[in-house]
Amino acid sequence: MSDFSMPSMGADMDSGKLVEWKVKPGDRVKKGQVVAAVETSKAVLDVEVFEDGVVEELYVEEDTDVDVGEPLARIGDGSRVGKQKPQAAGKEQTQPASETKTEPEAEPKATPKKPSAKEPAVVPAAAKPESEGRVPASPAARRKARKAGMALADLRGSGPAGAIVLRDLQSAQPSKPATRPGPGPGFDRGQMRAAIAAAMSRAKREIPHYYLANTVDLHAAEQWLTGYNEHQPPENRLLLSALFMKATALALARYSELNGHYAGDGFTAATQVNLGMAVHLRGGGLVAPAIMDADTLTLPELMHQLRNLVRRARGGGLRVSEMAGGTATVTALGDRGVDTVYGVIYPPQVAMIGIGRAHRRPLAVDDGVAVRLSVDITLAADHRVCDGHLGALFLNEIEQRLQQPEAL
Protein backbone atom coordinates (compact mmCIF):
# COMPACT_ATOMS: atom_id res chain seq x y z
CA MET A 1 0.00 0.00 0.00
CA SER A 2 1.27 3.48 -0.81
CA ASP A 3 0.05 7.04 -1.14
CA PHE A 4 -0.15 8.54 -4.63
CA SER A 5 0.99 12.16 -4.32
CA MET A 6 0.83 15.34 -6.37
CA PRO A 7 3.82 15.07 -8.71
CA SER A 8 6.17 17.87 -9.63
CA MET A 9 5.81 18.96 -13.24
CA GLY A 10 8.79 21.25 -13.44
CA ALA A 11 11.24 23.23 -11.38
CA ASP A 12 8.84 26.20 -11.34
CA MET A 13 5.87 24.27 -9.92
CA ASP A 14 4.92 24.37 -6.24
CA SER A 15 1.28 23.32 -6.50
CA GLY A 16 -1.44 22.35 -8.94
CA LYS A 17 -5.22 22.16 -9.04
CA LEU A 18 -6.82 18.71 -9.24
CA VAL A 19 -9.59 19.33 -11.77
CA GLU A 20 -10.83 15.81 -12.48
CA TRP A 21 -10.65 12.27 -11.12
CA LYS A 22 -10.77 9.57 -13.79
CA VAL A 23 -11.03 6.71 -11.28
CA LYS A 24 -13.04 5.91 -8.16
CA PRO A 25 -12.39 3.80 -5.06
CA GLY A 26 -12.33 0.13 -5.94
CA ASP A 27 -10.99 0.64 -9.48
CA ARG A 28 -8.00 -1.48 -10.41
CA VAL A 29 -5.24 0.52 -12.10
CA LYS A 30 -2.08 -0.40 -13.98
CA LYS A 31 1.25 1.36 -14.15
CA GLY A 32 1.06 4.26 -16.61
CA GLN A 33 -2.74 4.55 -16.47
CA VAL A 34 -4.15 8.09 -16.35
CA VAL A 35 -6.06 8.58 -13.10
CA ALA A 36 -6.51 12.36 -12.82
CA ALA A 37 -6.18 15.70 -14.56
CA VAL A 38 -4.18 18.49 -12.91
CA GLU A 39 -4.08 22.15 -13.92
CA THR A 40 -0.76 23.97 -13.69
CA SER A 41 0.21 27.48 -14.74
CA LYS A 42 1.06 26.16 -18.20
CA ALA A 43 -1.48 23.47 -19.07
CA VAL A 44 -3.93 20.84 -17.87
CA LEU A 45 -1.99 17.59 -17.66
CA ASP A 46 -2.95 13.93 -17.37
CA VAL A 47 -1.51 12.33 -14.25
CA GLU A 48 -0.61 8.67 -14.42
CA VAL A 49 0.18 6.14 -11.65
CA PHE A 50 3.50 4.39 -11.41
CA GLU A 51 2.40 1.07 -9.90
CA ASP A 52 -0.29 -1.56 -10.31
CA GLY A 53 -2.95 -1.81 -7.63
CA VAL A 54 -6.43 -0.84 -6.49
CA VAL A 55 -7.62 2.68 -5.73
CA GLU A 56 -8.58 2.41 -2.07
CA GLU A 57 -9.30 6.05 -1.21
CA LEU A 58 -9.38 9.47 -2.90
CA TYR A 59 -8.11 12.06 -0.44
CA VAL A 60 -8.72 15.22 -2.45
CA GLU A 61 -11.86 16.59 -4.05
CA GLU A 62 -11.99 18.00 -7.56
CA ASP A 63 -11.31 21.73 -8.00
CA THR A 64 -8.82 21.71 -5.11
CA ASP A 65 -5.35 23.29 -5.02
CA VAL A 66 -2.76 20.77 -3.85
CA ASP A 67 0.90 21.29 -2.97
CA VAL A 68 3.55 19.18 -4.71
CA GLY A 69 4.12 16.03 -2.67
CA GLU A 70 0.74 16.11 -0.90
CA PRO A 71 -1.07 12.73 -1.03
CA LEU A 72 -3.93 12.54 -3.53
CA ALA A 73 -5.04 8.93 -3.16
CA ARG A 74 -4.13 5.59 -1.65
CA ILE A 75 -3.15 2.72 -3.96
CA GLY A 76 -3.12 -0.76 -2.39
CA ASP A 77 -4.32 -4.32 -2.79
CA GLY A 78 -7.98 -3.39 -2.33
CA SER A 79 -8.28 -4.58 1.28
CA ARG A 80 -8.80 -1.06 2.61
CA VAL A 81 -11.27 0.34 0.09
CA GLY A 82 -13.34 2.99 1.78
CA LYS A 83 -11.23 3.23 4.94
CA GLN A 84 -10.18 6.70 5.99
CA LYS A 85 -6.80 8.26 5.35
CA PRO A 86 -4.54 8.01 8.40
CA GLN A 87 -4.53 11.35 10.22
CA ALA A 88 -1.11 12.97 10.54
CA ALA A 89 -0.04 13.67 14.12
CA GLY A 90 -0.63 17.22 15.25
CA LYS A 91 -3.07 18.05 12.43
CA GLU A 92 -6.68 18.91 13.04
CA GLN A 93 -9.35 16.56 11.80
CA THR A 94 -10.95 17.63 8.54
CA GLN A 95 -14.34 17.67 10.29
CA PRO A 96 -15.25 18.13 13.92
CA ALA A 97 -16.71 15.07 15.58
CA SER A 98 -20.06 16.80 15.72
CA GLU A 99 -20.18 16.86 11.94
CA THR A 100 -19.72 13.14 11.60
CA LYS A 101 -22.66 12.21 13.76
CA THR A 102 -25.75 10.87 12.12
CA GLU A 103 -29.08 12.68 12.19
CA PRO A 104 -31.53 11.94 15.06
CA GLU A 105 -33.12 8.51 14.84
CA ALA A 106 -36.52 10.02 14.18
CA GLU A 107 -35.27 10.97 10.74
CA PRO A 108 -34.43 8.00 8.48
CA LYS A 109 -30.88 7.72 7.27
CA ALA A 110 -30.18 8.11 3.58
CA THR A 111 -28.12 5.38 1.97
CA PRO A 112 -25.11 6.91 0.24
CA LYS A 113 -24.88 6.11 -3.44
CA LYS A 114 -21.69 4.78 -4.95
CA PRO A 115 -19.54 7.68 -6.18
CA SER A 116 -19.28 8.07 -9.93
CA ALA A 117 -15.92 8.21 -11.71
CA LYS A 118 -16.11 11.99 -11.90
CA GLU A 119 -17.01 12.54 -8.24
CA PRO A 120 -14.51 12.56 -5.42
CA ALA A 121 -15.02 9.92 -2.80
CA VAL A 122 -14.27 12.34 0.02
CA VAL A 123 -17.68 13.62 1.16
CA PRO A 124 -18.94 14.09 4.67
CA ALA A 125 -20.19 10.93 6.33
CA ALA A 126 -23.33 12.88 7.14
CA ALA A 127 -24.43 16.41 6.68
CA LYS A 128 -24.22 18.47 9.81
CA PRO A 129 -27.46 19.95 11.10
CA GLU A 130 -28.14 23.10 9.13
CA SER A 131 -29.62 26.24 10.49
CA GLU A 132 -33.15 26.99 9.41
CA GLY A 133 -33.28 27.99 5.76
CA ARG A 134 -29.80 26.64 4.97
CA VAL A 135 -29.68 23.72 2.54
CA PRO A 136 -27.39 20.84 3.62
CA ALA A 137 -24.58 20.37 1.11
CA SER A 138 -20.95 19.28 1.00
CA PRO A 139 -18.41 22.14 0.89
CA ALA A 140 -17.32 21.18 -2.63
CA ALA A 141 -20.91 21.15 -3.90
CA ARG A 142 -21.59 24.50 -2.24
CA ARG A 143 -18.52 26.08 -3.90
CA LYS A 144 -19.34 24.64 -7.31
CA ALA A 145 -22.98 25.75 -7.10
CA ARG A 146 -21.89 29.27 -6.19
CA LYS A 147 -19.53 29.41 -9.17
CA ALA A 148 -22.18 28.01 -11.54
CA GLY A 149 -24.90 30.34 -10.21
CA MET A 150 -27.11 27.41 -9.19
CA ALA A 151 -29.58 27.60 -6.29
CA LEU A 152 -29.09 24.70 -3.86
CA ALA A 153 -32.74 24.93 -2.82
CA ASP A 154 -33.74 23.85 -6.33
CA LEU A 155 -31.71 20.62 -6.15
CA ARG A 156 -32.51 17.25 -4.64
CA GLY A 157 -29.66 15.84 -2.54
CA SER A 158 -28.52 12.24 -2.83
CA GLY A 159 -25.79 12.37 -0.18
CA PRO A 160 -25.91 11.36 3.46
CA ALA A 161 -29.03 12.66 5.21
CA GLY A 162 -30.13 14.22 1.92
CA ALA A 163 -27.11 16.48 1.58
CA ILE A 164 -26.36 17.83 -1.88
CA VAL A 165 -23.08 16.49 -3.28
CA LEU A 166 -21.18 17.07 -6.52
CA ARG A 167 -23.05 14.43 -8.51
CA ASP A 168 -26.33 16.24 -7.83
CA LEU A 169 -24.99 19.38 -9.49
CA GLN A 170 -23.66 17.39 -12.42
CA SER A 171 -26.99 15.65 -13.01
CA ALA A 172 -28.83 18.98 -12.78
CA GLN A 173 -26.70 20.61 -15.45
CA PRO A 174 -27.57 20.01 -19.12
CA SER A 175 -25.26 17.56 -20.79
CA LYS A 176 -22.76 18.96 -23.25
CA PRO A 177 -20.07 17.47 -25.47
CA ALA A 178 -16.98 16.46 -23.54
CA THR A 179 -14.05 18.80 -24.01
CA ARG A 180 -10.52 18.70 -22.74
CA PRO A 181 -9.44 21.68 -20.69
CA GLY A 182 -6.35 23.31 -22.10
CA PRO A 183 -4.88 26.59 -23.30
CA GLY A 184 -7.72 28.59 -24.79
CA PRO A 185 -9.80 31.73 -24.34
CA GLY A 186 -9.97 31.22 -20.55
CA PHE A 187 -6.32 30.35 -20.14
CA ASP A 188 -4.35 32.69 -17.89
CA ARG A 189 -1.56 33.91 -20.14
CA GLY A 190 -0.21 36.19 -17.43
CA GLN A 191 0.13 33.28 -15.03
CA MET A 192 2.02 31.29 -17.65
CA ARG A 193 4.38 34.19 -18.34
CA ALA A 194 5.03 34.47 -14.60
CA ALA A 195 5.89 30.76 -14.40
CA ILE A 196 8.23 31.04 -17.40
CA ALA A 197 9.84 34.15 -15.91
CA ALA A 198 10.48 32.35 -12.62
CA ALA A 199 12.06 29.32 -14.30
CA MET A 200 14.21 31.30 -16.71
CA SER A 201 15.34 33.77 -14.03
CA ARG A 202 16.43 30.85 -11.90
CA ALA A 203 18.24 29.31 -14.89
CA LYS A 204 20.23 32.45 -15.69
CA ARG A 205 20.93 33.12 -12.01
CA GLU A 206 22.07 29.62 -11.04
CA ILE A 207 23.39 28.01 -14.24
CA PRO A 208 26.71 29.19 -15.73
CA HIS A 209 25.84 28.91 -19.41
CA TYR A 210 28.32 28.59 -22.23
CA TYR A 211 27.32 28.78 -25.89
CA LEU A 212 28.58 27.14 -29.07
CA ALA A 213 27.30 27.22 -32.65
CA ASN A 214 27.93 25.23 -35.82
CA THR A 215 26.71 25.60 -39.41
CA VAL A 216 25.72 22.23 -40.84
CA ASP A 217 25.58 21.38 -44.54
CA LEU A 218 22.23 19.66 -45.19
CA HIS A 219 22.84 18.62 -48.80
CA ALA A 220 23.02 14.90 -47.99
CA ALA A 221 20.01 15.09 -45.67
CA GLU A 222 17.97 16.98 -48.27
CA GLN A 223 18.79 14.50 -51.03
CA TRP A 224 17.93 11.50 -48.87
CA LEU A 225 14.71 13.08 -47.58
CA THR A 226 13.49 13.90 -51.08
CA GLY A 227 14.05 10.31 -52.19
CA TYR A 228 12.33 8.88 -49.13
CA ASN A 229 9.25 11.11 -49.36
CA GLU A 230 8.72 10.33 -53.05
CA HIS A 231 7.45 6.88 -52.10
CA GLN A 232 5.31 7.92 -49.13
CA PRO A 233 1.73 9.19 -48.90
CA PRO A 234 1.48 12.78 -47.60
CA GLU A 235 0.58 11.72 -44.06
CA ASN A 236 3.72 9.55 -43.78
CA ARG A 237 6.25 12.00 -45.18
CA LEU A 238 9.11 13.15 -42.99
CA LEU A 239 10.20 16.69 -42.23
CA LEU A 240 13.74 17.85 -41.57
CA SER A 241 12.77 18.33 -37.93
CA ALA A 242 12.57 14.56 -37.46
CA LEU A 243 16.15 14.20 -38.71
CA PHE A 244 17.31 17.02 -36.42
CA MET A 245 15.65 15.43 -33.40
CA LYS A 246 16.98 11.93 -34.11
CA ALA A 247 20.54 13.14 -34.73
CA THR A 248 20.39 15.14 -31.49
CA ALA A 249 19.02 12.20 -29.50
CA LEU A 250 21.78 9.90 -30.76
CA ALA A 251 24.42 12.51 -29.91
CA LEU A 252 22.99 12.85 -26.38
CA ALA A 253 23.13 9.08 -25.95
CA ARG A 254 26.86 9.20 -26.77
CA TYR A 255 27.67 12.30 -24.69
CA SER A 256 25.77 11.56 -21.51
CA GLU A 257 27.31 14.55 -19.69
CA LEU A 258 24.73 16.68 -21.52
CA ASN A 259 21.79 14.35 -20.85
CA GLY A 260 20.50 14.45 -17.29
CA HIS A 261 19.72 16.65 -14.30
CA TYR A 262 21.76 18.84 -11.97
CA ALA A 263 20.46 18.98 -8.40
CA GLY A 264 21.81 19.81 -4.95
CA ASP A 265 24.07 16.76 -4.92
CA GLY A 266 25.48 17.45 -8.39
CA PHE A 267 24.87 16.03 -11.85
CA THR A 268 23.16 12.71 -12.51
CA ALA A 269 23.26 11.32 -16.04
CA ALA A 270 19.94 9.95 -17.27
CA THR A 271 19.53 6.34 -18.34
CA GLN A 272 17.15 7.40 -21.15
CA VAL A 273 17.17 10.12 -23.76
CA ASN A 274 13.86 11.90 -23.20
CA LEU A 275 14.14 14.75 -25.64
CA GLY A 276 12.06 17.82 -24.86
CA MET A 277 10.65 19.98 -27.63
CA ALA A 278 9.76 23.63 -27.00
CA VAL A 279 6.24 24.16 -28.38
CA HIS A 280 4.79 27.64 -28.89
CA LEU A 281 1.17 27.90 -27.76
CA ARG A 282 -1.31 29.86 -29.85
CA GLY A 283 -2.53 31.75 -26.79
CA GLY A 284 1.01 32.79 -25.90
CA GLY A 285 3.81 31.17 -23.95
CA LEU A 286 5.36 27.78 -24.45
CA VAL A 287 5.71 24.32 -22.99
CA ALA A 288 8.47 21.75 -23.46
CA PRO A 289 7.08 18.19 -23.28
CA ALA A 290 9.47 15.32 -23.92
CA ILE A 291 9.53 12.42 -26.37
CA MET A 292 10.52 9.38 -24.32
CA ASP A 293 13.45 7.23 -25.49
CA ALA A 294 13.84 9.40 -28.58
CA ASP A 295 17.14 7.77 -29.55
CA THR A 296 15.46 4.35 -29.93
CA LEU A 297 12.64 5.50 -32.24
CA THR A 298 12.69 5.12 -36.00
CA LEU A 299 12.32 8.29 -38.06
CA PRO A 300 8.65 7.56 -38.91
CA GLU A 301 7.92 6.88 -35.22
CA LEU A 302 9.68 10.08 -34.22
CA MET A 303 7.77 12.10 -36.83
CA HIS A 304 4.49 10.70 -35.52
CA GLN A 305 5.48 11.52 -31.94
CA LEU A 306 6.41 15.07 -32.92
CA ARG A 307 3.06 15.74 -34.59
CA ASN A 308 1.18 14.13 -31.72
CA LEU A 309 3.10 16.10 -29.11
CA VAL A 310 2.45 19.46 -30.78
CA ARG A 311 -1.25 18.63 -31.20
CA ARG A 312 -1.69 17.68 -27.55
CA ALA A 313 0.42 20.59 -26.29
CA ARG A 314 -1.92 23.02 -28.05
CA GLY A 315 -5.18 21.16 -27.51
CA GLY A 316 -4.75 19.41 -24.16
CA GLY A 317 -3.78 15.86 -23.22
CA LEU A 318 -0.13 16.09 -22.20
CA ARG A 319 1.00 13.76 -19.43
CA VAL A 320 2.94 14.67 -16.33
CA SER A 321 5.72 12.25 -17.32
CA GLU A 322 6.14 14.13 -20.60
CA MET A 323 6.38 17.48 -18.84
CA ALA A 324 8.65 16.40 -15.99
CA GLY A 325 10.71 13.66 -17.63
CA GLY A 326 12.78 15.61 -20.15
CA THR A 327 16.55 15.10 -19.98
CA ALA A 328 17.53 17.76 -22.58
CA THR A 329 15.48 20.11 -24.75
CA VAL A 330 15.47 21.31 -28.36
CA THR A 331 14.15 24.73 -29.32
CA ALA A 332 13.56 25.27 -33.05
CA LEU A 333 12.59 28.66 -34.44
CA GLY A 334 13.37 28.07 -38.09
CA ASP A 335 9.69 28.28 -39.02
CA ARG A 336 9.69 31.80 -37.58
CA GLY A 337 12.45 32.88 -39.95
CA VAL A 338 15.22 32.94 -37.35
CA ASP A 339 18.65 31.93 -38.65
CA THR A 340 20.23 31.23 -35.24
CA VAL A 341 18.68 30.67 -31.80
CA TYR A 342 20.52 30.53 -28.46
CA GLY A 343 18.36 28.95 -25.79
CA VAL A 344 18.19 29.22 -22.01
CA ILE A 345 18.64 25.91 -20.18
CA TYR A 346 15.51 24.65 -18.45
CA PRO A 347 16.48 23.49 -14.94
CA PRO A 348 17.25 20.89 -13.74
CA GLN A 349 18.43 19.97 -17.26
CA VAL A 350 21.95 20.94 -18.34
CA ALA A 351 21.64 21.43 -22.11
CA MET A 352 19.46 23.29 -24.60
CA ILE A 353 19.94 22.68 -28.33
CA GLY A 354 18.85 25.43 -30.72
CA ILE A 355 17.93 24.84 -34.37
CA GLY A 356 17.57 27.78 -36.71
CA ARG A 357 16.15 28.21 -40.21
CA ALA A 358 17.26 25.77 -42.89
CA HIS A 359 18.01 27.92 -45.95
CA ARG A 360 20.32 28.05 -48.93
CA ARG A 361 23.61 29.88 -48.64
CA PRO A 362 27.06 29.68 -50.23
CA LEU A 363 29.28 27.09 -48.56
CA ALA A 364 32.83 25.95 -49.22
CA VAL A 365 32.62 22.47 -50.78
CA ASP A 366 35.95 20.78 -51.44
CA ASP A 367 37.97 23.41 -53.32
CA GLY A 368 35.00 25.38 -54.56
CA VAL A 369 31.89 27.22 -53.44
CA ALA A 370 28.37 25.83 -53.78
CA VAL A 371 24.93 27.03 -52.76
CA ARG A 372 23.68 24.41 -50.29
CA LEU A 373 20.81 24.00 -47.85
CA SER A 374 22.27 24.49 -44.38
CA VAL A 375 21.25 25.20 -40.79
CA ASP A 376 22.80 26.75 -37.69
CA ILE A 377 22.70 24.42 -34.67
CA THR A 378 23.63 25.82 -31.27
CA LEU A 379 24.28 24.46 -27.81
CA ALA A 380 23.69 26.14 -24.45
CA ALA A 381 25.36 23.95 -21.81
CA ASP A 382 25.93 24.01 -18.06
CA HIS A 383 29.60 24.80 -17.33
CA ARG A 384 29.34 23.07 -13.95
CA VAL A 385 28.95 19.75 -15.74
CA CYS A 386 31.18 20.00 -18.83
CA ASP A 387 33.44 22.29 -20.80
CA GLY A 388 33.39 23.68 -24.31
CA HIS A 389 35.59 20.84 -25.58
CA LEU A 390 32.89 18.27 -24.92
CA GLY A 391 30.20 20.64 -26.21
CA ALA A 392 32.10 20.96 -29.50
CA LEU A 393 32.36 17.18 -29.81
CA PHE A 394 28.62 16.97 -29.23
CA LEU A 395 27.78 19.46 -32.00
CA ASN A 396 30.20 17.69 -34.35
CA GLU A 397 28.42 14.41 -33.58
CA ILE A 398 25.08 15.92 -34.63
CA GLU A 399 26.66 17.17 -37.86
CA GLN A 400 28.17 13.77 -38.69
CA ARG A 401 24.84 12.06 -38.06
CA LEU A 402 23.10 14.45 -40.45
CA GLN A 403 25.71 13.71 -43.11
CA GLN A 404 24.57 10.07 -43.00
CA PRO A 405 20.76 10.37 -42.89
CA GLU A 406 20.26 6.80 -44.08
CA ALA A 407 21.74 5.59 -40.79
CA LEU A 408 19.40 7.62 -38.58
CA pair distance 19, 41, nearest whole angstrom: 13
- On the CB side of 215, CA atoms within 13 Å amount to 10
The overall average pLDDT reported for the chain is 81
Whether 35 and 148 share a structural domain? no
Across the range 316-324, mean pLDDT stands at 84
Whether 213 and 162 share a structural domain? no
Domain that holds residue 346: 189-407
pLDDT at 129 > cutoff 50: no
The tens digit of pLDDT for each residue in 289-308 reads 999 999 999 999 999 999 99
* 95 within domain boundaries: no
* 282 within domain boundaries: yes
The tens digit of pLDDT for each residue in 328-338 reads 999 998 888 89
* Cα dist from 222 to 261, 340, 362, whole Å: 34, 19, 16
pLDDT at 105 > cutoff 50: no
* 307 within domain boundaries: yes
Whether 403 and 325 share a structural domain? yes
Whether 327 and 274 share a structural domain? yes
Count up the domains in the chain and report the number: 3
Contact in structure between 328 and 252 (CB atoms under 8 Å) = yes
Whether 233 and 371 share a structural domain? yes
The tens digit of pLDDT for each residue in 349-372 reads 999 999 999 999 999 999 999 999
* 276 within domain boundaries: yes
Whether 212 and 171 share a structural domain? no
Whether 55 and 114 share a structural domain? no
Whether 228 and 374 share a structural domain? yes
Contact in structure between 189 and 284 (CB atoms under 8 Å) = yes
Element holding 226 (H helix, E strand): helix 219-229
* 41 within domain boundaries: yes
* 181 within domain boundaries: no
List CB contacts of 168: < 8 A, sequence separation 6 or more: 141, 155, 156, 157, 158, 159
* 93 within domain boundaries: no
Last residue of a domain, one of 124, 152, 176: 176
Whether 394 and 293 share a structural domain? yes
Whether 395 and 365 share a structural domain? yes
pTM, entire model: 0.67
Whether 392 and 276 share a structural domain? yes
CA pair distance 18, 72, nearest whole angstrom: 9
Provide the pLDDT confidence category of residue 184 given band limits of 50, 70 and 90: very low
Residue type for position 361 = R
Last residue of a domain, one of 86, 116, 131: 86
The tens digit of pLDDT for each residue in 34-65 reads 888 888 766 778 888 888 889 988 888 888 88
- pLDDT at position 100 is 40
Last residue of a domain, one of 176, 203, 220: 176
Whether 398 and 349 share a structural domain? yes
The CATH code of the domain that includes 31 is 2.40.50.100
Across the range 76-90, mean pLDDT stands at 61
- Tell me the backbone φ, ψ of residue 390, rounded to 5 degrees: -70, -40
- pLDDT at position 373 is 96
Burial 125-138 (b: 16+ CB within 10 A, else e): ebbeeeeeeebbbb
* 97 within domain boundaries: no
**CB burial of residue 38 (10 Å; 0-12, 13-18, 19+):** buried
pLDDT at 133 > cutoff 80: no
Across the range 251-269, mean pLDDT stands at 95
User: Residue 112: which of 170, 157, 156, 151 has the closest Cα?
Assistant: 157
The CATH code of the domain that includes 257 is 3.30.559.10
